């Protein structure tokens, strides 16, 4: 019912419920679903403690799922230019980022788009532009209004929170910009890497990690960083540890390993230097209670208390991504249909691998 994460949840203000808004508070693109939710509070002395269990008994019907880093591809965002509300997001992004995001999305080069500092904001903006493309089509607003739960893979959690009204488009983009920069700097500080292990269950991948760790020093240890789905888990750690995983994978009956084109060992302690920068940025950002449940990557639970959400987002870069548990929980709770919004079809492939009969539609931009 409640999250297993023991985090303080103190809020001195009631949380407003809204959709994406610009810096002046005017509605932008993603609008509120028109459903008001009342935060549960309890007074303790002179403080008001906001419950983090507002969404504990959520019952999902229709979900928006947002992709993470790795979904980017040169040419993305082109379709979005046909819808003014979607095109406007890129214009706003240019002012915040200080470079022409759309030009990089359209023309690359791929190496530039793939860099952490660019791919993260690019996916965030393109995913929210996909929402605007959906809104503009016949019946699109009805679909958006029907969505009662959302989540995103790693970076996609920020997109999901923006869609759910936890922060404005601009504030979310500023957070994502800082997150990309901080993760890149942390990666530059140590030789680390990520590798996907294909064809094994999580227990076998853990055994593979244990075997690799017996051969390397502490600075090169590895661990499972992304629990995507059975047969596809990402391992992060020092370069020598990742090389040991690659060398031993066949002996553990893995079908293959694929070295990931990322800056370093995301979702491990290698990203610890990024946490303090994220904490400072989050502390200065207004975060509201989401209007619908947003499932966290850290513990596969929805959170409603803004202070708890801030703490979880700071921890997310060093914590394994619990995507498999998140999606399985949605399906077990009766999810009827989900939509993947943004570049690529990675999430649709993962969901279908978990449950072949699951209904999921891709809304690209």
User: Are 76 and 169 in the same domain?
Assistant: yes
Res. 28: pLDDT tops 60: no
Let me know if residue 127 belongs to a domain. yes
- State the residue range of the domain holding 308: 62-189+267-363
How many angstroms from the chain centroid is the CA of residue 53? Answer: 21
Asked if 242 and 296 sit in the same domain, the reply is no
How many structural domains is the chain composed of?
2
Are 138 and 245 in a shared domain? no
At residue 220, the pLDDT reads 97
From 168, 267, 319, 326, active-site residue: 267
Residues 109 and 256 in one domain: no
Same domain, 134 and 280: yes
Q: Over the stretch 220-257, which tens digit does the pLDDT of each residue have?
A: 999 999 999 999 999 999 999 999 999 999 999 999 99
Within this chain, do residues 176 and 248 fall inside the same structural domain, yes or no? no
* Arithmetic mean of pLDDT, 331-354: 96
- Judge if 343 and 241 occupy the same domain: no
Residues in the chain, overall count: 365
State which of 225, 260, 295 marks the end of a domain. Answer: 260
Please tell me the predicted confidence (pLDDT) of residue 1: 38
Distance CA 267, CA 235 (A): 9
Question: In this predicted model, what pLDDT tens digit does every residue of 51-106 receive, in sequence order?
Answer: 899 999 999 999 999 999 999 999 999 999 999 999 999 999 999 999 999 999 99
- Pairing between strand 360-363 and 337-341? parallel
Please give the share of the chain, as a percent, with pLDDT higher than 90: 85
DSSP, residue by residue, 234-301 = EEEEEHHHHHHHHHHGGGGT-SEEEE--SSS-TTSGGGHHHHHHHHHHHHTS-----SS-EE-TTTS-
How many angstroms separate the CA atoms of 147 and 295, rounded? 13
303 carries an active-site annotation: no
Q: Are 213 and 338 in contact (CB under 8 A)?
A: no
Give residue 50's pLDDT: 60
Is it true that the peptide bond before 109 is cis, omega within 30 degrees of 0?
A: yes
pLDDT of residue 30: 37
Residue 118 has pLDDT above 60, yes or no: yes
- Here the tokens at position 45 are 């002395």
How far, in Å, CA of 283 to CA of 208, rounded? 39
Instruction: Say what the pLDDT of residue 261 is.
Output: 82
| In the predicted structure, residue 359 carries a pLDDT above the cut 50 | yes
- Mean pLDDT (whole number) for 285-301: 98
274 lies in a domain? yes
pLDDT digits (tens, 9 = 90+) for 253-283: 999 999 998 899 999 999 999 999 999 999 9
Looking at the domain assignment, is residue 34 inside a domain? no
If asked whether residues 86 and 145 sit together in one domain, one would say: yes
**Is residue 98 one of the residues assigned to a domain?**
yes
The whole-number average pLDDT for the span 180-202 is 96
Last residue of a domain, one of 243, 260, 277: 260
Collect all residues with Cβ–Cβ distance below 8 Å to 86 and sequence separation of at least 6.
Answer: 29, 80, 129, 130, 132, 133, 136, 365
Catalytic residue, from 11, 15, 154, 236: name it. Answer: 154
Region 331-336 average pLDDT: 97
The CATH number of whichever domain residue 301 belongs to comes to 3.40.366.10
Return the CATH number at 221. Answer: 3.30.70.250
Percent of the chain scored above 70 by pLDDT? 86
- Residue 44 pLDDT > 80: no
Q: How much is the pLDDT for 49?
A: 46
16 occurs within a structural domain: no
Q: Render pLDDT for 127-164 as a digit per residue (tens, 0 to 9).
A: 999 999 999 999 999 999 999 999 999 999 999 999 99
Same domain, 163 and 228: no
Confirm whether 2 is domain-assigned.
no
Specify whether 299 is located in the same domain as 212.
no
Cα–Cα distance, 296 to 280 (Å, whole number):
20
Average pLDDT over residues 324-352: 97
Q: Are residues 174 and 285 in the same domain?
A: yes
> Is residue 316, in this structure, part of any structural domain at all?
yes
Report the pLDDT value the prediction gives residue 33, as an integer from 0 to 100: 34
Q: Does one domain contain both 196 and 253?
A: yes
Return mean pLDDT, the chain: 89
pLDDT at 180 over 90: yes
Among the residue ranges 33-37, 103-107, 244-248, 335-339, the one predicted with the least confidence is 33-37
Domain for residue 314, yes or no? yes
């Amino acid at each position: 019912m409640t999250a297993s994460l023991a985090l303080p949840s103190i809020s001195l203000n009631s949380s407003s419920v809204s959709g994406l808004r610009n810096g002046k508070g005017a509605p932008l693109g993603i609008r509120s679903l028109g459903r008001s939710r009342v935060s549960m509070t309890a007074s303790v002395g002179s403080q008001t403690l906001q419950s983090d269990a507002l969404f504990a008994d959520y019952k999902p019907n229709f979900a928006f799922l947002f992709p993470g880093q790795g979904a980017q591809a040169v040419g993305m965002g082109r379709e979005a230019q046909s819808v003014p509300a979607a095109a406007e997001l890129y214009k706003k992004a240019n002012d915040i980022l200080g470079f022409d995001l759309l030009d990089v999305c359209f023309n690359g080069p791929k190496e530039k788009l793939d860099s952490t500092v660019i791919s993260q904001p690019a996916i965030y903006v393109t995913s929210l532009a996909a929402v605007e493309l959906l809104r503009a089509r016949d019946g699109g607003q009805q679909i958006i209004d029907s969505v009662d739960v959302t989540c995103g893979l790693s970076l996609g959690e920020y997109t999901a929170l923006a869609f759910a009204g936890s922060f404005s488009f601009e504030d979310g983009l500023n957070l994502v910009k800082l997150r990309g920069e901080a993760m890149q700097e942390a990666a530059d500080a140590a030789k680390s890497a990520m590798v996907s292990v294909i064809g094994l269950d999580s227990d076998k991948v853990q055994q593979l990690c244990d075997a690799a760790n017996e051969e390397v020093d502490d600075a090169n240890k590895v661990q499972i960083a992304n629990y995507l789905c059975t047969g596809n888990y990402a391992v992060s750690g020092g370069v020598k540890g990742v090389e040991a995983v690659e060398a031993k994978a066949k002996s553990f009956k893995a079908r293959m390993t694929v070295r990931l084109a990322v800056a370093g060992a995301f979702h491990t302690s290698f990203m610890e230097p990024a946490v303090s920068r994220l904490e400072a940025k989050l502390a200065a950002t207004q975060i509201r209670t989401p209007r619908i449940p947003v499932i966290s990557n850290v513990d596969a639970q929805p959170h409603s208390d803004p202070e708890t959400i801030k703490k979880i987002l700071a921890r997310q870069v060093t914590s394994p991504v619990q995507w498999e548990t998140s999606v399985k929980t949605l399906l077990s709770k009766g999810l009827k249909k989900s939509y993947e919004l943004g570049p690529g079809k990675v999430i649709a492939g993962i969901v279908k691998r978990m449950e072949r009969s699951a209904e999921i539609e891709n809304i690209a931009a």
